[in-house]
Each structure stands twice: as structure tokens, then as C-alpha cells.
Amino acid sequence: MLRAPLAIRIFCFEKRQWGHFCLRGGGCACHGPGPVCLSACRGGDPYRLYNLDVFQYELYNPMALYGSVPVLLAHSPHRDLGIFWLNAAETWVDISSNTAGKTLFGKMLDYLQGSGETPQTDVRWMSESGIIDVFLLLGPSVFDVFRQYASLTGTQALPPLFSLGYHQSRWNYRDEADVLEVNQGFDDHNLPCDFIWLDIEHADGKRYFTWDPSRFPQPRTMLEHLASKRRKLVAIVDPHIKVDSSYRVHEELQNLGLYVKTRDGSDYEGWCWPGAASYPDFTNPKMRAWWADMFRFENYEGSSSNLYVWNDMNEPSVFNGPEVTMLKDAQHYGGWEHRDLHNIYGFYVHMATADGLVLRSGGVERPFVLSRAFFAGSQRFGAVWTGDNTAEWDHLKISIPMCLSLGLVGLSFCGADVGGFFKNPEPELLVRWYQMGAYQPFFRAHAHLDTGRREPWLLPTQYQDMIRDALGQRYSLLPFWYTLFYQAHREGVPVMRALWVHYPQDVTTFSIDDEFLLGDALLVHPVTDSEAHGVQVYLPGQGEVWYDVHSYQKYHGPQTLYLPVTLSSIPVFQRGGTIVPRWMRVRRSSDCMKDDPITLFVALSPQGTAQGELFLDDGHTFNYQTGHEFLLRRFSFSGNTLVSSSADSKGHFETPVWIERVVIIGAGKPATVVLQTKGSPESRLSFQHDPETSVLILRKPGVNVASDWSIHLR
């Protein structure tokens, strides 16, 4: 009997490519492809990878969505494997198992009867056209698979710190006065915010790189006002160009021959937001260079350094095209048909836009670009999101496995529209969405043109307070988020992780998709049911402990708990053995907080140990790469001693940030607490101990975060 974990067959039929992969061994779970998570290998309809503008997409449906990543991960308690089918044409993935449909009793009966059948999962890939490039990611651990995949497609770009804050968006803020009123509303109601967004109505007749002269006559003045409040603006720039002889962008692209062509060589023309539109051929390097150059301040009139970009409709969306997209026989640079390249079109739009934001700063500033369409490697250019969701509880639920699945294939900077894009959420749903969004990597509220306004202060006071608390949780954790993104950038690991990633031998975790980990430190269980009074939470880890981040109550793993909940919060736990840095003063925006002091939350393991990291730089430039201007600090607790040391000696960065407080969870009461720093005598620290929660608070160590020091509990 063949016992190899993987067998492969690949065939070519004219232009069509077909691959058959057999995964052998019991206890297998498959994850991917695309943005919807597969909780386990099973029979059913094949999955279609074909980027489409899907109106009000159905849930738990294997059909096409906005982005495609042709990667599948197979996980068992003994090994992890990955398959990367590098093909940008329309692709179908069929997954079946010879144990599909069998009950647990049936599987046990097979075992008792000595069935000789080896559990097997078959994965069949079929692409309409293109080149066969298949990469086998052999693990053996899932972290090995992450590194192997990142070596092929790149790691998550390190986002600017401010892009990890809260984003306020809708289609559309009416005019400059509306934007400034929303901006003031956040200050008046003591709500932090980093970005306000503008959708398609801001442009002059949907002519991108322009501003509506009646509603946005002075965009630079508006941007300067936002900058004075240390906030940013995002404007949408879509890749369909209005056919208009008086529109400079259209005239230049037409004259340069940079549009996608029809079979007869004329410019391809479709219908989108501006009406008749042509589509730039982003597969052409000259087109990408031209597009990037448009973001220079002298070319994008009214723009400034605090304006960032959103690429929507880049599947591409063609309202009068087949399946609302481009004809498959449209012609691209190099003689390729659109059918061969379809799924990579949005990838190239994202790339060119990110390049443009880097170019406008002379290569100094890191870009922020959100893209709706994506492909393998899109993580190198910025953020993605789950598309036009709906204000329904099921859409709140599904955003967890969707973001987990995207993280597994490299796209860590992902999120879902808070509140739902379509329809109007009731206050309870909106509050629950903010509470979950605060713990997802990309945190943006967005809404359709026909929905009611839903800025947080428009809700009754009780709901405002709950949303304010959720925003506060997000901003408090920004040092932790930023460190996680640096780890993703450096190592290719996801920021938001399924439980099985860290507990690979715990089969209970394989099918859990209603809770998740942030790094290895925090476990989050959002509340995704209406009028919920309690939730079932699984805490993994044999011999591990978990601490409720609000009450500090300790729980032992592995176990399933029923926890009562109210509308005011969701269950969040810190794993014993970790150290999480926080900012405890929530201000107007992240830029107002970046020099604030740090509080370390040290959650002790049963062995009395803990460790964690903190990454700091200027938060917005490439100087961390070009000049090694960064700090990566390691904090370790063992033997009743907390030590701060450098985790990367290449880094150097001067910062006023200091350690304001240390909170040690699970600690006994010491007689004295002593601080030691290099070249200084020992000094005693004041402390407070709560015997009921076993929490020890050390006040004002007063040490710079860049220095080496140790704190001893005696």
C-alpha cells in the first residue's frame, strides 16, 4: 500500500491545465483556496477562482468572489503541506475525501473491522489556460509552509502605524463641509480616528485624479485641516477611465496606446461608474509606470502627503461585460488574452498604485493602498477587504473565517466593512461589529449610498459608550498590532491566526472558526448572535493558562467554557507566558500617541515565565530598512525577574518612549521590587498587589524603552 503523504498527476489538454493531488493520511483538514475558509476536507461543489464584482454575494458558496489566491494548505496532527497553483486564469478546485459523509461511528467501525482503506483527500485543479507552475510546500510544520510560501510571493508589507487605527468611510461624504463635520464629530465625542474616506462621488464626473469643483473646490485646504488634527484622507481611484476627449487621463492613455485592446486592435471599451470607460493595461510595465507617476503631487492636483488611495472595481468590473467583467478575448501586452491573466489584473493595479505613493515621496514614505481584487503576492502592496458585505449577523460571523483564510495565504492586512455595506444594522449588530472589528487587522466602517448615516455619535448614548470602548481597545493595543505586523513582514506569518496554527495536534481546533488568535498572545471570541447572553469558548493548550483581559480571571486549558456576556464587551484572553505592550492613553489619533509611554502586561505561565517583543520606528518611512532605524526589544520574565534586551542588534532608534507601568498577571506579592539599569545603582519601585486577582502593578519604572534593564521581585 502506498504510504507517501502526497501523490501528483498533471495533465495538459490543449490550452487547459489540470492537476490532481492526493493527500494520504487520517485527520486531514484543508484550508483555502480564496477568501472563504474550508473547515475540513469534504466533498461538494468545486471552488471557482475568478475575480468578479459580485453584488450581494452569497455566504458559504464556492463560487467566485473579488479575489483569488490559488493556494491550499493541508493540515494533520503530524504534518502540514501546501500547494501553490500559480495560474491567473479562471481556475476550479475540486476537493473530495474517501471519508466524506461518514459519521464518527462509521469511521470507528472501519477501524475496528481493520479496513485497509487509507484515508485520502483528492484535490483537483483545472485552469482554463496559462502556464503550469506548481509549487509544493512540504512543511513539515505550518510555520515552515508560511516561510516557504513567503519565499515565493513575498511577505506582508509593513504598513504605516496610522493605517492600523480606525477608518471612517461611507459612499459618500457629500462635500468638504461634511468631511470636516465628521472629523470634528470624532473630537466632540472623544472618539479616536485616523482616516476619513471618500468614495466615487468626490471626483468630477467619476474622472479619477480630479475633484468635483462644486463639492470639493479646495481639497488641499481640507487636507491641511485634517493634517492639523493629525488625521488622513483616503480617496478612491478606480481602473476604469471615462471616455472623454477633454479628460487628460483618457487622452494620454489613448495617445500612448496603453489601454487594453479588442481582438481587432481598437481600445477595449465597457460601461462602469463614469459611463463609457476604457481600461488601462496594467500588465504593461509602461502603463504601471505612467499610473505611478500620476500620484506625484504636481500630477494629482489637490493631493497632499496625507492623502492615500483605495483601488475598487479592479477585478476588473465591467457592468455590460460577461459576469460583470472583461471579455476573455481582450488583448493585453505581450500578446496575452485576458483569459490568461484575469485574476492578476487587480494585483497589478494595486502594485502600480503603491509604487505611485512611494514615488511621490522620493522613495521615503511607506504607502497605504486598499484593494478589492487580489492575487497571490498582493500582500506586498497593502491591504485588502472582504468586499461588499451586508448588515446581517451571518455576515458578521463569516468575516472571521474569511480573514483567517486570507491570513493563511499571506494577506494579513485584511478586514470586513464594519456594520455591513448593504442595509442598515440595528444598534446591537453595529456594536458587535465594532467589537470584532477592533480585533481584526484592517478596521474600517463603510456603508452603501442608500443606507442611513451611522457615525457612532448618531446612536443613543449607551451604544456610543460601547463603541468608544471598542475603539479604545484597538488604540490601546496599537504597539502590539504594530509588532505583529513587523513579525508578519519579517517572517511571513499571519497576524490573525486560526487556533490550529499554534495547537497543531489538538483536533478540536481544526474546525473552530468563531474565535481566533492574534499572534500567540491574545485569543478573541467575538459575539456573533443576536441577543446573546453567553458564548461557548474553547481555550486550547494542555497545561496552559489563559487570563481574561478585563477581569484577570484565570482559566486552564484545554477546556470549553460557557461564558456569560453582555453587550458591553466580548471575551478576550491573554495566554499565560506572553507579554503584551499597550498604550494606556487613547488620544485623537495614533499619531498623537506614538511617543506615549508603554505599559507591559506580563501574563505568567504555570512555570512563572513569559516573553514578548516590541517593535518601534518612526511609523511611516522606509528608514527601518534603509538605515536600520528601528528598535526590536525582547522582554523575558523568569525566576521572578523581568529583563529587557535587544532582539536585533542591527537596529538603532532614538525615542522618548518609556515604560510607565508593568502589570504582572498571576504573580504573588513580593517583599520588595528592585530596578537595575546599566551604570546606575539599584532603585526600589513602588507596587500594588491584589490578592484576589493575583495582579501585581509596578508603577513608573521610568526607563527608556530602548535601554537594557531588569526588574527583580524579591
Q: Which helix (H) or strand (E) holds 623?
A: helix 623-626
DSSP 342: G
Environment class of residue 289 by beta-carbon count within 10 Å: exposed (0-12), middle (13-18) or buried (19+)? middle
Distance, CA of 606 to chain centre: 32
DSSP 517: E
Q: How many CB atoms lie within 10 A of CB 519?
A: 22
Contacts of 379 (CB under 8 A, 6+ apart): 153, 154, 155, 156, 157, 410, 411, 412, 413
Q: Which residues are known catalytic residues?
A: 312, 388
Three-state DSSP at 276 gives strand
Burial track 427-464 (b if 16+ CB lie within 10 A, e otherwise): bbbbbbbbbbbbbbbbbbbbbbeebeebbbbebeeebb
Question: Regarding beta strands 658-665 and 598-603, do their DSSP bridges make them parallel or antiparallel, or are they unpaired?
Answer: parallel
DSSP 385: E
Report how far residue 389's alpha carbon sits from residue 556's, in angstroms, rounded to the nearest whole number.
37
Report how far residue 302's alpha carbon sits from residue 16's, in angstroms, rounded to the nearest whole number.
48
Report how far residue 437's alpha carbon sits from residue 169's, in angstroms, rounded to the nearest whole number.
14
How would you write 189-214 as a 3-class SS string? CCCCCCEEEECHHHCECCECCCCCCC
The length of the chain, given as a count of residues: 714
Report how far residue 231's alpha carbon sits from residue 222's, in angstroms, rounded to the nearest whole number.
11
Q: How many CB atoms lie within 10 A of CB 371?
A: 26
Q: Which helix (H) or strand (E) holds 638?
A: strand 631-638
Query: How many Cα atoms are found within 13 Å in the side-chain-facing hemisphere of 509?
Result: 24
> In 3D, which of 383, 499, 354 has the Cα closest to residue 442?
383
Residue 481 near residue 442, CB atoms below 8 Å: no
Three cell numbers written together for 451: 443606507
> In 3D, which of 585, 348, 552 has the Cα closest to residue 476?
585
What angle, rounded to 10 degrees, do the helices at 219-228 and 176-188 form? 10
